[in-house]
Amino acid sequence: MDKDGLSRKLFNLAKDHAATRNKRFGDSAGDQIRYMAQRAADEIMAKPDAERPDAMRAADQAFERLVDEMISQADQIPQYTTTNPGVIGEETLTRALSIICPLFPIC
């Protein structure tokens, strides 16, 4: 898999993981997560070939954890789910990152 393919895979994994929980990314959060996936792909592809499979598995788990934490944060922000039904956005992303970081390869 090349770097662009890995980046798409990671973003789509996060997007699909959110969808299984009846959530979607807000536009800004989606853009930021797409950028994180690109950076993650850069980091993974810079590793020696023998280390990439483990790094890819760690990345899959990290992006799923990010989405889970965003959803958790949406539930904790007063009125967030009422004013943003079905959306996890920039505010939830910021809060999630403050909890999970540092976490390879996201932050």
Q: What is the pLDDT of residues 18-39, one digit of tens each?
A: 999 999 999 999 999 999 999 9
107 lies in some domain? no
Count the domains in the chain.
1
Read off the pTM. 0.95
105 lies in some domain? no
106 lies in some domain? no
Do residues 66 and 96 make contact, with C-beta atoms less than 8 angstroms apart?
yes
| Residues of the domain holding 44 | 3-100
What confidence tens digit (pLDDT) does each residue in 94-106 have? 999 999 999 999 9
Which of 107, 3, 30 lies closest to 11 in space, CA to CA? 30
Which of 22, 35, 8, 27 lies closest to 67 in space, CA to CA? 22
What confidence tens digit (pLDDT) does each residue in 49-87 have? 999 999 999 999 999 999 999 999 999 999 999 999 999
38 lies in some domain? yes
